Structure 1
Amino acid sequence: MKNILYFAVVLLLGAVACSKSEIPTWNEKPRVWFTKANDTTLFSFYSQPEGVEKYAVEIGISMAGGRVATERTVKIEDLGCTNDTSRYEISAVIPANQSSGVLRVTVYKTVNLGNAPDTIGFRICSSEDFEVGLNESLENALVISSKLTRPAWWDKSAEYNLGYYSDKKMEVIMQVEGAFDTLNAGGYSWYSDEIKVLIYKLNKYCKDNNVKYSEDDESVIEFDYLTK
């Protein structure tokens, strides 16, 4: 009987010790980080209707911690851009009662973007409301342009499925509804049914509209394994 009582006391003390060690975690500040680690987002005014002079690009922010009933600002350090004539404004919030938010970058269609793309860098910082988390996910970049630019997702894997990058192929992707948004989203398998259907639509568009590589090469553009 004494042994049973002894073990019961030990278990009770252990439970109290565990509860004391867990209590502080409920009082810690929430932590925030960019949803996609060290990612580069591409935006081109080329993809927008004529006359659009500014556009709000959203970059996802994740949060770990308690939700509250008010909107909270995430502190973002602007790391600057490569061309000081570019214009942009930033704001970042976690909306009320939400566990995620966005960095909203409002970019303007300045003249320099027609000559060369520009890159803007950002870093999430600690603030009165948030600590930072996931150190590898604290920085992000946005590439802006007014003309066609090879996107970051068009890598070796893309070449095995779409072929080598060209402005003509990018024009087709911009023309087919939803194609750019799907490919730019990432996180998919190149062998998924969704991507296979999309590649079929791209090739069908080229055939139906007789889209050729150039005046010198009148063959119809093809999206396939290492095609030109």
Structure 2
Amino acid sequence: MKQTILFLLVASALFSCGEVEIDRYETSDNIYFDFDDEETSDRDSVVFSFAYTPEKVSDTVYLPVRISGLRVSHDRLFKLTVLEDSLSTATPGLHYKPLEDFYMIPADSGTLRVPVILYNQDTLLQDKSVAVHFMLVPTEDFVTALPYGVYAKLVFSSRLEKPDWWAGVESVFMDYSRTKHQLYLISIGNIPLIMEGANIPYNLFIMDKFRRFLIDPFTWVQSNPDYQIDTIVDDQEYVLFSKANPTTLRFKIRWDNDAKRYYFIDENNSKVLFN
């Protein structure tokens, strides 16, 4: 009898409730920078260099952004701005293309890679790095209330650094200079020289190819039409440059009367030497 009464009470409660409306917590969706740990060691920064592509006048770096919230069936806008402080040393128009007023998260999407176009036209980038500091700001579609991912930093240059493999061939390559390194990159490519085992014959071939380029860049240019040599002083001084980037990628060539040959001249106004 007790079980029957309990059953009737439960059934009565269920049928009397009807449809219950549950209030949903409404809040604005957030947007934040979402860097991949495998691509950058810092959660808020990207480092870029034109050093290994010096012939390029521009390149594009992408800043990954992601929403925290629901995807919707219409496009939404967010805003990215540059912090004009002492930490942002890059100059818009000279070092990078100014940002757009707004960027769009497409309908049914939760991510976007924001393109930042960098320029390689300032020769000072061969000696120093510049930085741009970004900040996401709220819009009608997104807020930036998360305690992370609001700020991002981009550091870039065209400065070369001495590679680890250089020490293993220093008896042939001699003293390091960024000019010598750049000349190696444009004539050979980014090929590390590891003088071990089966690599040795091929690397000796590479060294000889580089040596012939340094001795006679005039012949090299004939088979490399992307580059050009112009006269500075008749029969005494010339300049080798990339037709694609004639402003920043320039190498002086000077006649040495004692050696009866031409030498490239490095950033220290010294001869580029090679055994």
Normalised TM-score (structure 1): 0.55
- Residue 162 of structure 2 is aligned to residue 167 of structure 1: yes
Residue 89 of structure 1: CA displacement? 2.4
The one-letter amino acid of 1:167's match is: K
Aligned partner of 1:35: which letter? Answer: D
2:54–2:158 CA contact under 8 A, matched in 1: no
For residue 50 of structure 2, what is the aligned residue in structure 1?
A: 45
Structure-to-structure mapping, 1:125-136, within 5 angstroms: 125-136=137-148
- Cα separation, 2, equivalents of 1:146 and 1:5: 82
**Paired position in structure 1 for 2:63:** 59
% of aligned pairs identical? 22
Does the 8 A contact of 2:32 with 2:150 survive in 1? yes
CA distance in 2, matches of 1:121, 1:136: 15
Which consecutive unaligned segments of at least 5 residues does structure 2 have? Answer: 36-41, 166-180, 208-275
CA distances 1:146-182 after superposition (whole Å, capped 9, x unpaired): 123xxxxxxxxxxxxxxxxx6314989x936xxxxxx
Residue number in structure 1 paired with 2:149: 137
Could you say which structure has the greater relative contact order, defined with CA pairs below 8 angstroms and 6 or more residues apart? 1
Matching residue's letter, 1:113:
L
**1:58-95, CA deviations, whole angstroms, 9 ceiling, x for partnerless residues?**
01111123334444332112113214453332344323
Equivalent runs, 1:179-198 vs 2, <5 Å: none
Q: Secondary structure at the match of 2:25?
A: helix
What number of residue pairs does the alignment pair up? Answer: 162
Q: Any idea what SS the aligned residue of 1:113 has?
A: helix
- Stretch deviating more after TM superposition (83-92 or 119-128): 83-92
Distance 1:31 1:3 in 2: 49
Matched, 1:102 2:113: yes
Answer whether contact 2:77 2:104 (CA < 8 A) is retained: yes
1:204 CA drift (Å):
9.2
Q: d(CA) in 1 for partners of 2:62 and 2:80? A: 14
Partner SS state of residue 156, structure 2: strand
SS in 1 for 2:135: strand
Comparing 78-87 with 131-140, which one deviates more in the overlay?
Answer: 78-87
User: Hey, which of these two has a bigger chunk of helix by percent?
Assistant: 1
The one of 82, 87, 98 aligned to 2:89? 82
For the residue of structure 1 that corresponds to 2:98, the secondary structure is: strand
RMSD: 3.9
Change (3 A) 1:131 1:114: same
